[in-house]
Structure 1
Amino acid sequence: MSVKIKKGDTVKVIAGKDKGAEGKVIEVLREQGRVIVEGVNRIKRHTKAAQQGGTGGGIITAEAPIHVSNVMLVDGGGVTRLGSKRVDVEKRRGDGSTYAAQRSVRISRKSGDEI
């Protein structure tokens, strides 16, 4: 399954203990098919005091990865699925001349608008 969510997208959690929560994607882990969302799936990690580094021990709260199938992209007022389409663009060469080409863009399945 390809990961269509990108870093910086606003997503809504649709399954799990944080269902209904919205947040911004901090990181995408493509190999595992997971994303890290700001303020969602927070875990606490107990750390020992480092003797060499001088950092004190304590409890660190951080976001854990969540599977990409459990989030949906927020578009406008609600959530939407993602699609892609090819659009015609005009590109510029180094010498200043232009030529016609195509590029792939992400679109909202609900509204059809480019994301």
Structure 2
Amino acid sequence: MGKGLNIKKGDTVKVIAGKDKGAEGKVIAVLIEDERVIVEGVNRIKKHTKVQDQGGRAGTTGGIVTTEAAIHVSNVMLVEDGKPVRVGFKREAVTKRRRDGSTYAAERSVRVSRKSGKEI
């Protein structure tokens, strides 16, 4: 499996390239295998949908639906305190608990802001 992405679902990001440059929005979904993200209100497309007759009220109505399309993760930057920041990673020591109640020391990877050094 490839390297993970710095952006997660629920993050607020700013678009830094493309037709929606400067727009900010919340990440709705992350497509890891395609290295793309879907951002709320960014890269809106019109999708033509067919009428699906499934009998009764269950069918969907056809027409033109406006929805968000995915954009490449390199075209967005994570926002912290209203400003775009680069993302770094830091290893942090933690104590984990086993099922039997005993504890052990381990490390976990944490996203940090390159600008302030704070955990994201």
Same-fold call, TM > 0.5? yes
Q: Deviations over 1:2-51 (max 9, x none)?
A: 42111111100011111111111111111111100011111001223234
Specify which of 52, 55, 58 is matched with residue 50 of structure 1: 52
Percent identity of paired positions between Structure 1 and Structure 2: 74
TM superposition outliers: structure 1 runs of 4+ over 4 Å? none
What residue is the counterpart of 1:33 in the other structure? 35
What residue is the counterpart of 1:68 in the other structure? 73
Q: Deviations over 1:62-102 (max 9, x none)?
A: 10000001000001130101010101111111122222111
- AA in 2 matched with 1:11: V
- TM-score under structure 2 normalisation? 0.88
Alignment root-mean-square deviation, CA: 1.5
- AA in 1 matched with 2:20: D
- TM-score under structure 1 normalisation? 0.92
Structure 2, gaps ≥5 residues long = none
What residue is the counterpart of 1:89 in the other structure? 94
Mark the CA change 1:77 to 1:47 in structure 2 (over 3 Å): closer, same or farther: closer
Mark the CA change 1:94 to 1:17 in structure 2 (over 3 Å): closer, same or farther: same
Structure 1, gaps ≥5 residues long = none
